[in-house]
Structure 1
């Protein structure tokens, strides 16, 4: 392997830097499978990795990028061979282990997922960790009893990566989907994904402090948290569930026990990083099957960028200026 390019985040004393660097094979970490990366997705967590106050990187220097899709070029793991198309996502990638914003990556074999039949490498990263998180949210909600007959499902932060893919997946499954967003320009886009109603961010932010409000939702997909989560808990129907996966609205939650003990509401934590490999493969197979949005590449708003454009996009995603999915094409 010749030298390759990667985005590197470094911190030395009080100096913090984000730059595109040329690396060599000697810079690769220990691992069983070496992958030539074709695509990597851009996620909110990657944005946090690009700022000193993000506090998610466990060591420096580090190549961020919590997911990747590519082709195996070397393998010491008998399960994988040169030429295999694979996905690596939602493990320690890009946090404690150099990640997907690199033209070459080396990872432990146990992190590798064979590309499921029904997905291309590009489609896998249009979905990426955001799509995996959405699919895992739907899976957990359905495991907890959610069906289309039980009523509407609300998706908050609906114009973002997790939200937009969740809207499309739930609509395909036959749910009545209500999308909440702070971006009026995204309304037509969300309707094209299958949202039947759209609420403003203000309508789904609880400022009243009332522990219970009118019961509206059979289920909810929430990558927002904060006051939005307090609203969802107070307005979910008896026996309903909220799948929580993010904190773009803040990490603090002010609520009461009443939704849980008077309506039997379940709060389902979605941690896509530490689920078992068997569960991960099951969810990815659903992403290639019944949860794969129809006309995925046409319908999910996707921006394809080069590696050199990545620092600008990482800044934009933290400011809430990114709609849909952004993927990095690693080949020059």
Structure 2
């Protein structure tokens, strides 16, 4: 924790204010030292400073104190965005369990995430299909058995590809709905007993932070394309609308016992698997120019939003959607920027997209 202690003279007493990370100028530091020397005996300084810094820490716990020794369970945890979310939490003191279908990829990512903090425990459980409640329940049981609890959940498993409604098969549509909507529901059902237990244990009254930190919180990873609708993305739009609705219902039904449920909706995030599949590298500049902040987002910025919701700062945040997209959705057009499709020409021409079976490969005309 980085703390600068400033002292001012006020009625012959040393009065302090705290500023994290950014200390005052050298001139102000020198002035503060003079005031300190004139108001506090030198032999009392160590005890005085220790007491002040301790008081500061107690008055506003830092994120690492709130998340320390908590357990996060994450579906889709081997993906670019979800792994960054989990990594940030592990860095702050949490232990984690990530699940996925690919055994090698999931176990490898778990080992990589564990390097974020010495002594951390990160389980990587492969061969888990979120469409199967039994598969998820087994993973949840193992997580609790080995790590002791589940305090936070990130429902991040998802599927995506480009396809117009004319080309989209019933099976392809169902596949995305099953992964996103059914998978999110199964994740909730398998973990909610543990979230309720954690929420009761770590509940805050909104005035005094819980001395044991936070817990009992779930985040659903969604998107923004269903806010306006988008061609070639009907299946994803419908699925993510369902995920958002699920989160809201969870917040209402389980809020009374202290569980919070929220959505994080990433916009265009650079260097992710999804962005690489859906947009070409050549179109990056034009894509970024269409975003109010003029750039793609980073996975760190999604991780920051995650920490906010799971920390003491997010105590009263419930049934909310945190959009992390630089304002991009406000300017979403009908075209799929950077993908090589020009609206409405590609629809009227009857062109088809290859790779629409749901496999993770770049869709092409």
TM range (shorter): 0.3 to 0.5
Structure ranking higher on relative contact order (CA contacts 8 Å, 6+ apart):
1
Structure with the higher strand share, 1 or 2: 1
Question: So what's the TM-score if we normalise by structure 1?
Answer: 0.34
Question: So what's the TM-score if we normalise by structure 2?
Answer: 0.32
